[in-house]
Structure formats: C-alpha cells, structure tokens
Chain A
Amino acid sequence: MRATAASALGREAWARRLPLLPAFIYVFLVTQIPFVLTIYYSFFSWNLLKPGSFHFAGLENYGSIFTNESIRIAVWNTVLLTISVIGISVVLGLAVAMILNSEVFGKGLMRTLMIAPFLIMPTAGALIWKDTLLNPLFGLLPYLLTPFGLGRVDWVNQYPMVTVVTVEVWRWTPFMMLIILAGLQSQNPEVLEAARVDGANAVQSFRRITLPLVRPFIELGALLGSLFVVQTFDSIFMLTFGGPGEDTTNIPFLLYLVAFQGFSIGEASAIGVVAVIITTIVATLALRTLFSIFQIEARR
C-alpha cells in the first residue's frame, strides 16, 4: 500500500520534471561539458597550427596570462569600456526617459525613433559610424566640426577608445531608456503632485521620490547591460580591430586573436576560465537584482 503510494508520488514527480528535461539536458550538454573541457585544455600547451604540440603544461598558461602584458591591457580595456559605456548610457538613458515620461509632443514617435540604434545590426552600425560619419575625408562629422578646428581629426585612429565608447553608448542608451522609462511609468503621478503641493521643488521631488523609485530599474539596466557590454566584440572588430596596437583590445577580442588568429588552444582556454570567473562575479550581482525585482513585481 505504502509502496504504491510512494511510487505514484515518484511518478508524479517525474511527470513534473519530464517537460523540463529536454531543455535542461540540451543546455547542460552544450554549455557545461565544454566548460569542463575548457578547464582541462587550459592546463595543456596546444597549438592547432603545430601538429604534435599537445602536451601537459600545468599552470604555464595561467602563468603567462598573469605575466603577459596583453592580458593586463585587455582586462583594463574591458573594465574601462564597460564602466564608461554603462555610466554614460545610464545617465543619458535616465535623461531621455524623464523627457519621454513628461508632457511632450510626439511621445510615441520619439520613443520609436529612439530605440532604432539598439535594433540596428551592431556590425552595420559600427560600419556606418566609421565610414560615413567619422571618415576624415568624406565623413559628415569632421565636415561639421571644421569650423571648430576639428575638421581633419581621424577619430578611429587618434581616439580609438573614445570612438568605441561613443558607438556603444549610442547603442546602449536606448536600452537603458526603455528600462528606466518602464520604472518611471510605474510611478503614481498623484504622489509627485502631492509633493509639489507640499512645496517640494523639482530637484527635491526628483531626489526624494523619483530616484528611489527608479533605482532598482537603473540597477537592473546597468547590470544586464554590463553583462552584454563586457562581451563587446562586433564594434571593436569593425571599428578598430583591437588597435591601434592593443589600444582597444578587450578580453573577447584578445580571445579571438589568441584562439582564431594564433590558434593557441591552451592559452585561449586559460583566458576563457579567467573570463568566466570575472563574469560570474558580475552575473551574481545582476541575478540578485533580477530576483529582487521579481519579488517587487510579485507583491504588486
């Protein structure tokens, strides 16, 4: 009697689990097993271009990572790129969202046009910036800046990081705007009205009422955004190819160079392991925020 009840319970549990399994197994096979292999390869010296070069190397790859100048530059570039892109696009996104949340003409059309940079294929956007807007000979921007004495500036080569950050900010500001706008729209306008009646000025009601309300949305946007921006590859490939020198080589681009230009499997794997550790730290923070927002939404 008890046994059949238990087996019925077991069957019930399996019936619940069954629909989950295909997706779970698929994701497990394609992400977890390769990651274990990545860790494994990271202890070997192996260059695909040199047959027979496969041999155990211990911590050699990690040693060279931490002594190699390239990786330090790449980590620094990744941090610099991520912090400046996220910082600037959050501020701009907040500003645009506040304008779109107030009484303005053509709100819907403004929003529609504003999200276009996020939807444009990143490789296409980067090419348009590089060749038609920033090109020192035929580009529009140098032409417009000529009266200010910036007419013949070769932005991509002279200010590579500024260029990459600009293009990425252009792309991520709409993303931040969308998330922050959703936060602003969940605000009860009567509260702001009451604050105004009570004599609060615009700055006070922004700091005391609006900002605390949209803060979780800003955090969510910043953290989700940074998980994407840390992986920036497309625009660097198209704009600067990591250069000049290593000026705009970030971790994903370095990985590309090591794995697909140099075919150093062991070293690329070691870079992969380090990248995972860094990303895990950021992702843990992001997920905590995500869950707390889910709980706020659930309470509503």
Chain B
Amino acid sequence: MESTGFRSKLLKSALGWLVVFIFFFPVLWMWLEALKTEPQAASSPPTIFFVPTLEEFQTVLSGDFPPFFINSAIASILSTFLVVALGLPAAYALAIRPVKRTRDVLFFFISTRFLPFAASLVPLYLLARDLQLLDNIFALALIYTTINLPLGVWLLRSFLLEIPPDLFEAARVDGAQFRHEILRIVVPLIAPGIAATSLICLIFSWNEFFYAVNFTSSEAATAPLFLVSFISGRGLFYAKLAAAATLASLPVLLAGWIAQKQLIRGLTMGAVK
C-alpha cells in the first residue's frame, strides 16, 4: 500500500514536471539564447552547450533600449498611482457606505473594462492628435488608467469588504472625519489589497501593446515597441533579440513571481481568493 502510493506520487511528479518543462521551455530558451553570441544563436543545428556571455545584454543596455524601458516605467507607475488614487475612494463608496444602485455602478465599471478598444479608439486617437498628445507618455498613462481603473475598483472593493464594519462604527462614534477614516483605518488595513491591485495594473500596463503601437512613435515608445524593431531585421540578431525580450519581460515576471498569491485574485477581479 505504502509503496504503491509512493510509486503513483513518483509517476504523477514525473508527468507534472514534463508538462511544466514544456510550458517553461520557451522562457528558458529565451534566457539561453540571450546568453549566447550571435553566431551561436543562429547556428544550425542549434547550439546547446556553450560558454555563457553577457555581451548581448551589454549591447542592448548600452544601445537605444533604456529610453523605451524608462517610458514603460513612467506609463506603468503613473497609471497605477492614478488607479489607486481614483479607485480607492470609489471602492470605499461601493463597499463601506454603499450608495444606491451599487450593483449597477459596479456593472458599469466592469463593462468598460471589457468594452473592446474598438469602441473608443478612433475618437481618442483624433482627440490625442488634435491636442498634440500623440507620442506623449503622459497621454499613454491616462489611457492605461482608463484600462485599469475598473479592475482596480472591483479589486479594492473586494478587499474593503473584508474589513469588519465595527471598526468604522467605532471611528464614527469617535467623530472621525471621512478623510481621517480613509487615511487612518482603510489605508493601513488594505495595504495588501493596494499592493495586489498595483501589481495587476503594472502587469497590464507594462505589457500593453495596442495603444502603445498606435499612439506613440519615437519619443514615448515603450518597451514592447523596442521589440517590434526586430520583426523586420535580417541577419544575425537572435541573441540580441532574446536579450531584449528577457530585459523587457523581467519586471513583470519578477513581480508576478513574488506576488503569486495575489495574482489569481487580481486576475479574477477579486472573485477567486
């Protein structure tokens, strides 16, 4: 009995690791390619054993990549900050002191998240063009705020619902002002919720491509756009491509790995904990 249990565990583990290896392999391969020299990366048959070098990372980092990376950081961080600043009070109004028709308001918010970008793309583009805001990183940050705000409201609300209502009653009896109520009670208690929300917003805005490709060209271009320059490239560029792809993916990969627990909750807008 004991040994069959062990054998089935071993068998399942082997199967599981095989599947995980297949899924993880493209990521691993990206890292390996990034550590090769160009001739090694473009060899046939593919080079499996080689002496790793950071040459291509240096090339990418000392080349024109950093401005793209910085633009991504500005757009992601600024939009995440705006989502929390606008979303937290809204979530508070929907969770702690529910307004009338709360459900309708929630429905409205989330429906805008899943409105295809086709719905508002053309007018936003024309507006940005007329206001000279094309290729402007702050305009892009505002668009990302729009994309992430509905999600932020839902997610923050789901965290606020977990705070015992008694805490607020006590504060109100003490005569705490609304502003103090938010700052003294709400913010410390849902710091983990704010962290989870920020994480999801960062992931979505860091990886966003559609608006970036259509609303920016040179000044405000973000990290995914740096990768576009490799599509048309010819010749020996695979190692450089892999190094750039590794660097561009790194912040979200690390953030997602560190905050695995929050990831699922964020992706389902608080529905699954």
Contacts and interface: CB of A to CB of B under 8 A. Distances in A.
Interface stretch (B51-59, B91-99, B163-171, B187-195): B91-99
Contacts of A117: 23-24, 26-27
Given A30-B146, A122-B209, A179 B263 contact: no
Contacts of A227: 114
Interface in B122-147: 122-127, 142-143, 145-146
A66 interface: no
Given A131-B241, A138-B42, A279-B114, A24 B267 contact: no
A234 B145 CA distance: 20
Contacts of B45: 143
A23 B263 contact: no
Given A123-B209, A137-B44, A238-B231, A290 B271 contact: yes
Given A19-B90, A31-B119, A127-B230, A293 B272 contact: yes
Contacts, number: 303
Interface string B254-266: 0011001001100
B19 A95 contact: yes
B43 A138 contact: yes
A104 B109 contact: no
Given A34-B124, A38-B119, A119-B253, A113 B24 contact: yes
B12 A224 contact: no
Interface of A: 13, 15-20, 22-24, 26-27, 30-35, 37-38, 41, 95-96, 99-100, 102-106, 110-125, 127-129, 131-133, 137-140, 143, 170, 173-175, 178-179, 182-183, 217, 220, 224, 227, 230-231, 233-234, 237-238, 241, 251-252, 255-256, 259-260, 265, 268-269, 271-273, 275-276, 279-280, 283, 286-287, 290, 293-294, 297
| 5 closest cross-chain pairs (CB), A and B | A19-B89, A34-B120, A124-B245, A272-B118, A23-B90
